[in-house]
Amino acid sequence: MDILSAIIQLVLASIIIFFISGRLIGSHVSLSKRIFSVIISVVFTTFVFWYTYLRDSSYYDNGIVSNVVNIATLLWLGSMLLISMLLYLLFELFDPIELNENGEPVDRRSGIKTLITYWKRQKRLRQVVSIAVKNGITRTVKYARAREDERELAKALRDTLEQCGGLFVKFGQVLSTRKELLSPIFIEELEKLQQHVKPLSKEQVDQILIENFNGHVDGIFSYFSKQPIASASIGQVHKAVLRETNEPVVVKLLRPEVKNVMTEDLSILMEFASWISTKSQWAENIGFYDLAKGFSLALREETDFNIEARNMEQVALIVQKGNINAKVPKVYLQHSNENVLVMEYIKGKSVTVAGDLFTRQQINRHEFAKTLLHSFLEQALVSGIFHADPHPGNMYIEEGTGQLAMLDYGAVGRLAVQQQDGLKYFLVGIHQNDAALVVDGIRLLVENAEDINEQEMEQAISQVLLRISYVSKVPTDVLVYSIFSIVRDFGLHFYPAVSGALRAFVTIDGTLSIICPNFEIFNEIKDFSNDYLKANFLKPLKNPSATKERIEEELALVLPNLRKIPRRIDQLFKKVESGKIILHHDIFSDKTNAMFITQLFSRFVLLIVGVTFGIISVALLAISQFMHNAYAVYLNTTAYLGLFLCAILLVRLSIQAIRDTKRTK
């Protein structure tokens, strides 16, 4: 009966500790972690209590147990509470889960699964770092100044990415397209990266189709070729025929292992990028970590075919509204989802291998290249939504019509109006050798425009423009790389969308060179800008009725405010004459600022209170050592209580600080 009573008391104590510790922590600790922490703390403190006081049978015989328990109960419960809170702190320290702005977990996993994931991640990270060190990347990053050293660094980076495999190889392949950012030496080395992808088996293809079409594959397709017409690291493409309309289509299937690999390797890639950025000034200057972050975000979009389907719809609508003779494949939304994409089949060849089509269909190469460039410029500089990966393999010539067809919309860029204007100034300024116009464009394209030293930047860009003057042709990637280098040297950072647009611009220049080797891209950009300005200037003359309606709508919005202006001016002068105008700016008028200051001040006060409790308690303990009367007991009790409160406050503040670092922006 005594044992049963003790167990009941232990359970009640555990429940009390569970609720009290949860309230004291003041954070969103998961239920499983709270239960686990309480169990560990109860078991540990109970064992210590038994080992210290109760294991000696003489206590039972002499009836001292009740006295011991009465004396030690508070110490036992306090230790239990403190240990459970310290375990919470330990869990928060090793929990990689991000929090939203409300402090709630973005993606909650079980504690055991988190520990397993953490162990696997650390093992993979150690493997990656070990490969990097073995290839000498830590040695070469410090001395990448001379050309020979830069070549060694490029080789070390390529070997590291290649040996790490998986997404690291794909990241290197993406880096090899960043000709505006990396020197030709790095581009040359990274272009050697090859990723051999094994096609999906017929059984895997059948399984994907059954899972995504609920077993009704035959009801959708009258024909489906199990032999892929293209295979890549993310998806695989098959030819099929729709049963309902008898239209030929292509079906893009997401590889089943991609999402698992992406979840595991993307976080490792980000940690590797952070590590190498701390070791290398070169990596920090080019924004290696930001490159990895951009790659991570783009890859997450590419692995959701719903996003690609939406991208295709947007670009198709832009092309239809424009005056460019180009084509975007139709997407069949009713048969598509995040894992399967059904699109119109384009019968033709990519511009890389379409030499016979140019000849047989008598297609003017210059005009075809002009169509491609103008379509890209209309997307990027007019609508702001553009195909972000216009490499030769994605640009097709349709057989029979000779029409340009643009494929693969996994990567689509978006530019705000201000960035569209900045890109126009940037490109036209290069063509006109106008450094001031280029700087005006850069001012609209960078995040920290207030840091621009206008005179020095104009001087630096003038030197670049002078180097390309009076020469027949300058490679676009070399020119843009030179200007990128200047932007980095001045400590400026392009918006991510702008970096994507410039990368696409360099990529399309390479595609245009394959179509028409003598194509002058900057001349065509100037012609496009002139035609676009003329069209906008003449638009009101071509459609006066629409212009009249637009003016009436704008006036209807503006007139009420215009009528109020005289009265407001009169009121302003009266206040000036009476001296009642006072300029006042209060940072606390903003709710976010006020909340931030309040929270910061509150935590500072808690920190001071906790430290004060600790200092006073230690002083009381020291004083009690020199006392030999009853007051020493009271001093010791007060001191231990103060230390206990100090520990609780400091643990709570530590947990809140850890959780603040995990909050998503």
The tens digit of pLDDT for each residue in 425-442 reads: 888 888 788 888 889 889
Residues, the chain, total? 665
Query: Which pLDDT does position 51 carry in this prediction?
Result: 64
Q: Is the pLDDT of residue 533 over 60?
A: no
235-247 mean pLDDT: 91
Tell me the CA distances in angstroms from 359 to 362, 363, 396, 514, one per residue in order: 5, 7, 15, 15
Residue 136 has pLDDT above 60, yes or no: yes
pLDDT in tens, 551-573: 665 566 566 666 667 777 777 77
Strand order in the sheet with 404-406: 326-327, 404-406, 395-398, 348-350
- Compute the average pLDDT of residues 284-289: 79
Pick the residue with more confidence: 73 or 405?
A: 405
Q: What is the pLDDT of residue 546?
A: 56
Of the candidate ranges 155-159, 284-288, 459-463, 576-580, the one whose mean pLDDT is the lowest: 576-580
| pLDDT above 90: percentage of residues in the chain | 9
Lowest mean pLDDT among 218-222, 223-227, 301-305, 636-640: 636-640
CB 227 within 8 A of CB 203: no
The pLDDT of residue 275 is 82
Token pair 């200047």 in the structure block, residue: 486
- Confidence tier at 519 by pLDDT (50, 70, 90): confident
Window from 131-135, 160-164, 602-606 with minimum mean pLDDT: 602-606
Q: What share of the chain is helix, strand, coil (3-state, %, to 5)?
A: 70, 10, 25
More reliable by pLDDT, 167 or 306: 306
Q: Which pLDDT value is given to residue 101? A: 47
Burial class of residue 339, CB neighbours in 10 A (0-12, 13-18, 19+): buried
- pLDDT band at residue 58, thresholds of 50, 70 and 90? low
Give me the phi and psi of 238, to 5 degrees please.
-125, 155
Q: What is the pLDDT of residue 95?
A: 57
pLDDT given at position 665: 43
Let me know: does 297 contact 270? Beta carbons within 8 Å.
no
Comparing 145 with 266, the larger pLDDT belongs to 266
SS3 254: strand
Q: Residue 330 — very low, low, confident or very high, per pLDDT cuts 50/70/90?
A: very high
pLDDT of 508 > 80? The answer is yes
What is the spatial distance between Cα 218 and Cα 489, in angstroms, rounded to a whole number? Answer: 60
What token pair was written down for 599? 């929270």
The mean pLDDT value for 586-604 works out to: 65
**Tokens 């989802």, located at residue:** 337
Mean pLDDT of 611-623: 74
Q: CA quadruple 128, 129, 130, 132: dihedral positive or negative? A: positive
pLDDT at 532: 63
CA distance 308 to 343: 11
Percent of the chain with pLDDT over 70: 70
Q: How confident is the model at residue 302 (pLDDT cuts 50, 70, 90)?
A: confident
Q: Does residue 234 carry a pLDDT above 50?
A: yes
**Which stretch, 102-111, 120-129, 519-528, has highest mean pLDDT?**
519-528
Give the pair of three-digit tokens for residue 220.
Answer: 């959708």
Predicted confidence at residue 364, as pLDDT, reads 92
pLDDT tens figures, 89-117: 666 655 554 444 444 444 445 555 555 66
CA angle 448-665-304, nearest 5°? 105
CA distances in angstroms from 223 to 218, 226, 244, listed in the order given: 8, 10, 11
Residue 273 host element (H or E): helix 258-279
Winning range, highest mean pLDDT, from 478-482, 489-493, 646-650: 489-493
pLDDT of residue 246: 92
424 and 415 in contact (C-beta within 8 Å)? Answer: no
Which span out of 7-21, 72-86, 185-199, 351-365 was modeled with the highest average pLDDT?
A: 351-365
Q: Which residue has the tokens 């890549």?
A: 232
Calpha distance 289→293 (Å, rounded):
6
Output the pLDDT for position 553.
Answer: 58
* 8 Å CB contact between 243 and 220: yes
658 neighbors 29 (Cβ within 8 angstroms)? no
Residue 64: its pLDDT value, please? Answer: 44
Strands 326-327, 404-406: pairing kind? parallel
d(CA 595, CA 601): 10
Q: What is the mean pLDDT of the chain?
A: 76
Torsion sign across C-alpha atoms 171, 176, 178, 184 = positive
Split at pLDDT 50, 70, 90, the class of 404 is: very high
User: Residue 68: pLDDT above 50?
Assistant: no
C-alpha 606/C-alpha 340 separation (Å) is 54
Q: Given CA atoms 21, 27, 30, 31 in this order, what sign does their dihedral have? A: positive
Say whether pLDDT at 230 is over 50: yes
CB 351 within 8 A of CB 397: yes
Mean of the pLDDT values across residues 338-363?
A: 90
Collapse the DSSP code of 359 into the 3-class scheme (helix H, G, I; strand E, B; otherwise coil) and give the result: helix
Higher pLDDT, 123 or 205: 205
Per the model's pLDDT, the better-predicted residue between 629 and 620 turns out to be 620
pLDDT band at 250 (very low <50, low <70, confident <90, very high): very high
